[in-house]
Amino acid sequence: MRGKDCPHYTTDIKWNKDELISLRMAVHQVLKQMNTQCNHIVSESQITFDQVAQIHNTEMTAKRWSKTKNKSLHYPRTAIQCRIMYFNHASLKINKSKFTKTESLQIVKWVHQYKDFPPWDKVASSLQSNRTPWQCFQYYQTSINPSIPCKEWTPEEDELLLKYIAAKGPHYVVNITNCEDISKTLFPDRASKQLYIRANYTLMNPNLTTGLWNMEQERKLALCMKVYKNEKRPLAKVAVSFVITLFWSFL
């Protein structure tokens, strides 16, 4: 990846919720000060993140000592860390909806133009849909990159994946996040999306049924919908309850 706003893998301590809130407030404060001093509207890209980092670290240090029941350490953040986190994760302007077909075609066009190594900051800017460079890079690599191996699964791969999930126990849910970890440790030549689909939506899943629902399943569905009816995503909760014992019988 290229561009000063492109995130990279580091050993930085994970940001918590309080830090993200503090970072947004610091950016807002600096932006307000700059707009007051200038005769024109200042954009977020023109912000001096040295000042943002200073305000953020001061706020977090004060908050740490104000909470008598929470003495967890605060690790000071640098200006570069604040910039990367804000423009790639913390900003409320970031578009987190699914990529559209138009966006996909534009990304592919950039990739072909730069022979698989486009400037992802320019790619994100060209979409004009508030996407980050990291979002564009990640989406391309996990969803539309034609070079990602699509070879048939071997019996040995199925067995390894099956045993790994079974060893995790009945409460282990095969979601995208977990599949990313599996990909890094066991299947470096498989994308996380491939693992997710293989585990949940193929005949490798012993709990996958394609026929008519039986009475017990219908009763369970009705009960789950009643329990989760006030949830933000009730169907997702119901689905988890149906697959919570995935692969347990293979222990």
pLDDT digits (tens, 9 = 90+) for 117-174: 899 989 998 999 999 988 999 888 877 886 766 667 888 888 898 888 888 887 777 8
User: What mean pLDDT value characterizes the chain?
Assistant: 79
In this structure, is residue 150 part of a structural domain? Answer: no
Q: Between 112 and 204, where is the model more confident? A: 112
By the 10 Å C-beta count (0-12 exposed, 13-18 middle, 19+ buried), 132 is classed as: buried
Cβ pair 47, 82 in contact under 8 A = no
pTM: 0.53
Q: Taking the C-alpha atoms of 150, 152, 153 and 156 in order, what is their torsion angle to the nearest 10 degrees? A: -130
Asked whether residue 120 falls in the same domain as residue 188, the answer is: no
| C-alpha–C-alpha distance, residues 218 and 238, integer Å | 12
Nearest Cα to 54, choosing from 82, 89, 84? 82
**Mean pLDDT (whole number) for 38-44:** 79
Do residues 122 and 160 share a domain?
no
Contact 146, 140 (CB under 8 A): no
Q: Which of 201, 199, 190, 135 is nearest to 162 (CA)?
A: 199
pLDDT score, position 210? 58
d(CA 127, CA 67): 43
Distances in Å between the alpha carbon of 139 and those of 55, 99, 142, 167, 228? 33, 8, 5, 30, 31
Is residue 96 included in any domain, yes or no? no
Residue type, 114: Y
In total, the chain counts a number of residues equal to 251
Q: How many separate domains does the chain show?
A: 3
Decide if 207 contacts 243 (C-beta within 8 A).
yes
Say whether pLDDT at 110 is over 90: yes
236 shares its domain with 162: yes
C-alpha count within 13 angstroms, C-beta hemisphere, residue 184:
5
Q: Which domain does 81 fall in, by range? A: 17-90
* Tens of pLDDT, residues 6-22: 444 344 578 888 899 99
Asked if residue 8 is part of any domain, the answer here is no
